Amino acid sequence: MSHLVSLRNDGDIAVVTIDNPPVNALSHALRAGLVEALSRARADAGTAAIVIVCAGRTFIAGADISEFGKPAREPTTLDVISAIEASEKPVIAAMHGTPLGGGLEVALACHFRVAVPGTRLGLPEIKLGLIPGAGGTQRLPRLIGLDKAMAMVLSGDPIPATEALTAGLIDAIVEGDLTAAAVAFARGIVARGQAPVLARNRDDKLAPWRGEVEKFDDDAAPYAKRARGRDAPAAAIAALRGAITLPIEEALARERALFLDLVAGEQSKAQRHIFFAEREAAKLPKLAGVKPHDIQRAAVIGAGTMGGGIAMCFANAGLPVRVIEANDEALARGLDAVAKNYRSAAARGSLAADEVEARLARIAGTTDLAAVADAEIVIEAVFEDMSIKQQVFGALDRIAKSGAVLATNTSYLDIDALARGVARPDAVIGMHFFSPANVMRLLEVVRGAATSPATLATALAVGRRIGKIPVVVGVCHGFVGNRMHRVRGVEAERLLLEGALPADVDAALTDFGFPMGPFAAADLAGLDVGWRMRKAQGLNAPIADLLCESGRFGQKTGRGFYLYAPGSRTPQPDPEVARLIAAEMARRGAAPGAVGKDEIVERLLFAMINEGARILAEGIARRPGDIDVIWVYGYGFPAHRGGPMHYADSVGLARIRDRLTEFARRTGDESLRLAPLLQKLAADGNGFASLST
Ligand code: 3H9
Pocket of ligand 1 (CB under 6 A): 22-23, 25, 58, 61-66, 77, 98, 100-102, 105, 124-125, 128, 130, 132-134, 136, 279
- Quote the DSSP letter at residue 87: -
Phi, psi of 163, deg, nearest 5: -70, -40
- β-pairing verdict for 377-380 and 49-54: unpaired
Please tell me the predicted confidence (pLDDT) of residue 539.
86
Among candidate residues 77, 149, 87, 145, the one with its CA nearest the CA of residue 112: 87
Look at 666 and 188; give whichever has higher pLDDT. Answer: 188
Q: Rounded mean pLDDT of 595-618?
A: 97
Mean pLDDT of the region 277-284: 92
**How close is the Cα of 211 to the center of ligand 1, in Å?**
38
Nearest residue to 143 via CA among 199, 213, 183, 102 = 199
Compute CA 632 distance to the chain's CA centroid, rounded to the nearest angstrom. Answer: 7
- Give the whole-angstrom CA distance, residue 402 versus residue 628: 36
pLDDT digits (tens, 9 = 90+) for 662-693: 999 988 888 899 999 999 999 999 999 999 86
pLDDT digits (tens, 9 = 90+) for 3-49: 899 999 999 999 999 999 999 999 999 999 999 999 999 999 999 99
For residues 325 and 307, what is the distance between their CA atoms, to the nearest angstrom?
10
Q: Whose CA is closest to atom 32 on ligand 1?
A: 279
Q: What is the pLDDT of residue 171?
A: 97
Spatial contact of 644 and 631, defined as CB atoms under 8 Å apart: yes
Q: How confident is the model at residue 1 (pLDDT cuts 50, 70, 90)?
A: low
**Which has the closest alpha carbon to 364: 354, 355, 372?**
372
Nearest CA to ligand 1 atom 4: 102
What is the Cα–Cα distance from 406 to 429, expressed in whole angstroms? 6
Q: Which of 64, 65, 123, 261 to mutate to test the pocket of ligand 1 (most atoms within 8 A of CB)?
A: 65
Mean local confidence (pLDDT), 413-431: 97
Q: Can you list the alpha helix ranges (DSSP code H) found in 193-285?
A: 213-225, 232-245, 248-264, 266-281
Instruction: Give one word for 64, left, alpha or beta, with left for phi > 0 and alpha for psi -120 to 50.
Output: beta
Q: Which atom of ligand 1 is nearest to the CA of 76?
A: 8
Q: How many other CB atoms are there within 10 angstroms of residue 402's CB atom?
A: 6
**d(C-alpha 451, C-alpha 401), whole Å:** 17
Q: Give the span between the Cα atoms of 477 and 492, in whole angstroms.
A: 20
Enumerate the β-bridge partners of residue 407. 379, 429
pLDDT in tens, 347-368: 999 999 999 999 999 999 999 9
Strand partners, 636: none
Least reliable range by pLDDT among 367-381, 431-445, 662-676:
662-676
What is the greatest pairwise CA distance in the chain? 92
Mutate to test the pocket of ligand 1, among 4, 18, 20, 23 (most ligand atoms within 8 A of CB): 23
Annotated catalytic residue, options 36, 74, 85, 125: 125
Q: Do 566 and 470 touch, CB atoms closer than 8 A?
A: no
Phi/psi at 404 (5° precision):
-70, 145
User: For this structure, is 105 an active site residue?
Assistant: yes
468 phi/psi in degrees, rounded to 5: -95, 170
Residue nearest to atom 33 of ligand 1 (CA): 22
CB 386 within 8 A of CB 361: no
C-alpha pair distances (Å), 301 with each of 166, 310, 322, 371, 386: 46, 10, 8, 10, 15
Question: Which atom of ligand 1 is found nearest the CA of 259?
Answer: 6
3-class DSSP state for residue 330?
A: helix
Q: Which residues contact 508 (CB under 8 A, 6 or more apart)?
A: 517, 597, 598, 600, 601, 604
Single out the residue of 174, 105, 173, 117 nearest to residue 143, CA to CA: 105
Q: Say what percent of the chain tops pLDDT 90.
A: 93
CA of 54 relative to ligand 1 center, distance in Å: 15
Burial class (CB in 10 A: 0-12, 13-18, 19+), 149: buried
Percent of the chain scored above 70 by pLDDT? 100
pLDDT in tens, 510-527: 999 999 999 999 999 899
Upstream peptide bond of 292 is cis (omega within 30 degrees of 0):
no
Evaluated on CA atoms 310, 315, 316, 317, the torsion sign reads positive
How far is residue 553 CA from its own chain's centroid? 30
CA end-to-end distance (rounded Å), the chain: 34
Please name the residue whose Cα sits nearest to atom 48 of ligand 1: 279
Query: DSSP string covering 601-642, please?
Result: HHHHHHHHHHHHHHHHHTTSBS-HHHHHHHHHHHH---GGGT
Report the pLDDT averaged over residues 640-669: 96
Instruction: Specify the pTM.
Output: 0.95
Assess whether pLDDT exceeds 80 at residue 2: no
Confidence of residue 553 (pLDDT cuts 50, 70, 90): very high
Q: What is the DSSP letter of 692?
A: T
Over residues 225-280, the pLDDT tens digits come to: 999 899 999 999 999 999 999 999 999 999 999 999 999 999 999 999 999 999 99
By DSSP bridging, strand 172-173 and strand 120-121 are unpaired
- Region 554-583: what's the mean pLDDT? 96
Catalytic residue list contains 255: no
CA 165 distance to own-chain centroid: 28
| Whether 50 contacts 14, CB under 8 Å | yes
Sorted by sequence, the CB contacts under 8 Å of residue 398 that are 6+ apart come out as none
Report the mean per-residue pLDDT for the chain.
96
Catalytic residue among 105, 255, 376, 602: 105
Among candidates 583, 642, 567, which has minimal Cα distance to 612?
642
DSSP 446: E
* Partners of 159 in the β-ladder: 121
Q: How confident is the model at residue 436, as a pLDDT?
A: 93
Residue 91 has pLDDT above 90, yes or no: yes
Encoded amino acid at 350, one letter: S
**Do residues 34 and 71 lie in contact, with contact meaning Cβ atoms separated by under 8 Å?**
no
Mean of pLDDT values over 459-463: 97
